[in-house]
Chains A and B, each alone.
Chain A
Amino acid sequence: MTTLTTPITQTLDARGLVCPMPTVRLGQAIRKLSLGDIVEVWTDDPGSQANMAAWTKNTGHQLVASALEGTVYKYQVRRMR
């Protein structure tokens, strides 16, 4: 978990969604961004840390920063390809 400082392009509020919907929605959202743009995902899925690590490893997109605020995990992902 790091500090969220990077300016973001879009926020994706996936709170209340169960796995796999946060990553599926992220996959849909990131395809609409330009290279280098950052989407910030909000989720309360407790398994999201492992899921986001696997998702970014598979897609090649970059997990720029993440934070836990209360019960909400926030992940900043940059489109790389």
Chain B
Amino acid sequence: MIETLTPFTSVAESTNGELKPRRLALIASKGTLDWAYPPLMLATTAASMGWEVGIYFTFYGLYIIHKAYQNRLEVSPVGNPAMPPPLAALPQLKVPNFIGALPGMTAMATTMMNGWMERAHLAPIGELLSIARELGVKLYACNTMIGVMGVKPGDLMDGVECAGSPAFLDFAAGADVQLFI
């Protein structure tokens, strides 16, 4: 249940001396577990501070707001030399990259990363999205990529607005912080 919230805005003085709310514009372009967290963490933080926040989900980033995928995002050890060894007690036991390509390794890396998030009490992706919505974060789905990737608007979570890049750029042009993730 979402209780009634009384929002407040964070204000920054613009160059002409008028007060306007601070604004964060993010582009979320990747659909892996590790890349899904940063935009949602930044968005919820900024929204908790009263900023206006919009995230534009495009390319694989669409899967972050896809009902069937958002709680099943994965991370692959392939091509990621920073992936820590599976056993913390044996840091020298790094998994050779080609082994990361074997069947089951993506699932193993995903389980490992979900375990880190759980131990740190960091909310899962679906819950971060709920918090984002509760705090008024605007979620924009790139309507071009919806068409290109064959995603149906009904596949996306509630509260998502389909938008084109001109509409998002208009929002981003008034932002204090803009990031492509």
Contacts and interface: CB of A to CB of B under 8 A. Distances in A.
A32 B1 CA distance: 13
Nearest to B117: A18
B44 interface: yes
Interface residues of A, number: 19
Nearest to B11: A60
B131 A23 contact: no
Contacts of B11: 60
A21 B135 contact: no
B48 A18 contact: no
B134 A28 contact: yes
B91 interface: no
A24 B48 contact: yes
Contacts of B6: 31-32
Contact of B41 (A20, A27, A58): A20
Contacts of B3: 32
B8 interface: yes
Given A20-B48, A58-B49, 16 more contacts: A17-B121, A18-B120, A18-B121, A20-B45, A21-B123, A24-B45, A24-B135, A28-B48, A28-B131, A28-B135, A31-B7, A55-B49, A58-B10, A58-B51, A60-B8, A60-B11
Closest 6 CB pairs of A and B: A27-B48, A20-B45, A31-B5, A58-B49, A18-B120, A58-B10
Interface of B: 3-8, 10-11, 22, 41-42, 44-45, 47-51, 120-123, 131, 134-135
27 contacts: A16-B121, A17-B120, A17-B122, A18-B122, A20-B42, A20-B44, A20-B48, A23-B49, A24-B48, A27-B49, A28-B5, A28-B131, A31-B6, A31-B8, A32-B4, A32-B5, A55-B49, A58-B10, A58-B22, A58-B50, A58-B51, A59-B10, A59-B50, A60-B10, A60-B50, A61-B8, A81-B8
